Amino acid sequence: MTHPDAKRWNQRYHEEGQTRLSHPPRQLLTDYLSHLPRQGLALDVAAGVGVNSLCLAQHGLHVIAADISTVALSLAQQQAKQQNLSLQPLLLDLAQAYFPPHSFDLIINFYYLERTLFPLYQKALKPGGWLIMETFVKPEYATERPAHYLHPHELHHAFQSMQIVHSKLLTRLSRNGQEPIEQLVARKK
């Protein structure tokens, strides 16, 4: 893929991929794992090296790990093969994505923001399907790339037609200090 983001992310995962594989799955995902289906099809959006994908595959789901980085997807696929898990890598520019309607039992999206995907997620979920999202909210000091940040409660408002199971604004500690984030767990009615 010749997309400029692909080159940047491939380089980053080439340098950091093994370290990222040692990270645990996102806490929000593990907090709700016992509520999620143990079979069916899950989509991990901007999956990176697939730590969350592997967690879902260990849970029993068939997982499609979508990302723009061939390096990250290769690392995810290697881990899945070593563990004999059901993971299908999907090389995809998510800004140009299409997902078939009523296809997924679960969609997860951690720290990737592409607002055009919001209506696609709702259409792509099966009735009763789960959506789990967590990403950055625009901090007061942010002046660059405002499109990469949510407005406060934006996820809650964007998915209000779904059954909201959990919706929360909070801060997390990162290398940049305290950063505001929004979490959402919802089910399609």
Model confidence band, residue 88 (pLDDT cutoffs 50, 70, 90) = very high
Residue 18, domain member (yes or no): no
Residue 14, domain member (yes or no): no
pLDDT tens for residues 113-153? Answer: 999 999 999 999 999 999 999 999 988 776 677 788 999 99
Residue 146, domain member (yes or no): yes
Q: Whole domain around residue 43: which residue ranges?
A: 4-8+25-187
What pTM was estimated for this model as a whole?
A: 0.93
Residue 20, domain member (yes or no): no
Residue 53, domain member (yes or no): yes
- Amino acid identity for residue 138 in this structure: K
Question: CATH code at 117?
Answer: 3.40.50.150
pLDDT tens for residues 6-61? Answer: 899 999 898 998 899 999 999 999 999 999 999 999 999 999 999 999 999 999 99
Residue 91, domain member (yes or no): yes
- What is the maximal distance between C-alpha atoms in the chain? 45
CA atoms within 13 A on the CB side of 97: 27
Residue 17, domain member (yes or no): no
Count of the separate structural domains present in the chain:
1
Residue found under tokens 């779904």: 162
Contact between 101 and 124 under an 8 Å Cβ cutoff? The reply is yes
pLDDT at 1 (0 to 100): 41
- List, edge to edge, every strand of the sheet that includes 62-67: 87-91, 62-67, 41-45, 104-110, 125-136, 177-187, 163-174
pLDDT at 143 (0 to 100): 63
Residue 126, domain member (yes or no): yes
Judge whether residue 5 has pLDDT over 70: yes
Q: Which among 172, 173, 129, 133 has a CA at the least distance from the CA of 150?
A: 133
